[in-house]
Structures are given as structure tokens and as C-alpha cells.
Structure 1
Amino acid sequence: MKDLDLEEFQNTVTNCLVRHKSIIDVLAKIDETSARVNRAISKSVTSCGCIQINAKKQQIPADISLCELASYMETHLDGKLCENCREVIEQEIGNHLFYIAALCNLLDLSLKDILYEENEKLSTLGIYNLS
């Protein structure tokens, strides 16, 4: 698979965005696609059952350092996505990314620059980011 440049992705989105070109439409579609990602994950639990959510209060000892905290935190997920659920969730995340890129285009923002800056912040601050 060829490496895709984020600028190329944004250009492709620009060429494909026809119906929902208004910022109001794009904002509404971002909400909709986010909900569809959540729904696809929920369906992998409730309909397929390939993953399970076993949520409970996080058990964190009082005497640990911030650096040790990650080793005590749980994802609350059991199992592994089946091929069908993986495909559906990837498609929904792709749709969501399309509208994120569309929003960046409308606001003349570079998705590549945003991701670079976020990565730099995370790399520099590490666990102290706590955003």
C-alpha cells in the first residue's frame, strides 16, 4: 500500500466534498460520523459479541507515582474485533476523518500541521500532558 500524505488526503476531500460544503453541514456531519463510530463499536459488543466491555472502578494504589499510573489503568475491553466489525469500524472512522479534513479545509487549516503539533506536544510533555 502506498503511503498517503495528509495533504493529499485533504486535497482529495476537497475534490469530493460537494453536497455538504457549508461549515454548518460539515459540523453536523462530524457529530453524525462520531455517533456512527460509537454505534459501530457498540454493535460489535451487543450484536456480534467479538468484544466485551467489563467496566468497573479503576483500582489505583494511593502510593504510586504518575509514571506508574498507566500500568494500573485498564481499557475495560476483552476480546478482539472480528474481521467484519473491524471493517465496519474502520469505514466509520474513515468517514469521520473525511469530515475532520473537510473542516480543516474550510478553515484553511493543515491536518498534517495539526497532527505534527499535537505529536510534538505529546512527545515533549509525555504523561504530564493530561489533556
Structure 2
Amino acid sequence: MKDVIFDDFQNAVDECLLRHKSLLDIMTKLQESEGRINRAIAKSVTNCGCVEVAAKKQQIPNDNNIDMDTYKKYFNTHLEGNLCENCREVLEREIGNNLFYLTSLCNLLDLNLYDILLKEYNKISTLGKYTFR
């Protein structure tokens, strides 16, 4: 069932894309949408203040005998707070635009978005925490 949703979305994107059919247009619109996501996050910090960035050096122990689950606890997201409803709405819209152009790129290159997602899911399911991302 889920592959039907992905296929329907991919087909709908293909039907909606009119002006930006060129590979160069799609690549630059995808990059622009990524910039807009970053800008929306930055504005959540600098304009709204609903989230804060508290960045500092990651305090990772030098102990080679530490297990992966314990090691993971030492990493910090540097993010404090929660998105307010307005910032969440803006960010969801920008991520949606990004998905649109990512899907457009898949369409142009004859790639199936669901297959890509499934391959990535299988990879992280198989390797789990050992994917080291």
C-alpha cells in the first residue's frame, strides 16, 4: 500500500512540473529549497526564538572499550526547545517543496522514489548503528 502512495506522489509531481523541466532547473530549485529549509530553521532561532542552538565541542570519551549504545549517549544535538506552530508550518512547507524537487529529479532520471527509500531503509535496518552517519 505504501508504495502506491509514493508512486501516486511521484506521478502527481510529474504532472505538476511545468516550467522547470530542465535538469539544471531541477538541480538549482532543489538546492534553493534546501537553502530555504536552512533559512527557516535559522529564523526559528534568530527571529522567533522557539528553538536555540547551544553548540559546543562534543565530549566524547577516549575509552576504546565503550559499547556503541553508551557511546551514542555522548553526542548532543545542540538543539534546545521545540518549534512553535508557525515555525513548524513554515518548515513543513519548505520540506514539502524540497520533496517536490527531489521527486522531480527522480522522475527526470527515471528513478523510483519508493525503491530508493526502501533500499536505504534496508541498508540502515541491516547495518543499524554501524552505518555511522
Unpaired runs of 5+ residues, structure 2, are none
Report the counterpart of residue 21 of structure 1 in structure 2: 21
User: How high is the TM-score relative to the length of structure 1?
Assistant: 0.94
Q: How many angstroms does 1:66 deviate by?
A: 2.8
Note if 1:43 corresponds to 2:54. no
**Residue type at the aligned position of 1:30:** L
Q: How many angstroms does 1:89 deviate by?
A: 0.2
Report the counterpart of residue 124 of structure 2 in structure 1: 122
Unpaired runs of 5+ residues, structure 1, are none
Number of aligned residue pairs: give it: 129
Note if 1:76 corresponds to 2:39. no
String of CA shifts for 1:11-51, please: whole Å, max 9, x gaps: 11001000001111000001100000000000000000000
Report the counterpart of residue 61 of structure 2 in structure 1: 61
RMSD: 1.2
String of CA shifts for 1:41-99, please: whole Å, max 9, x gaps: 00000000000000000111122223322211111000000000000000000000000
More off after superposition, 55-64 vs 41-50: 55-64
Aligned residues with identical type, % of pairs: 57
Q: How many angstroms does 1:130 deviate by?
A: 1.7
Report the counterpart of residue 96 of structure 2 in structure 1: 94
1:51 and 1:26 map into 2 onto residues whose CA distance is: 31
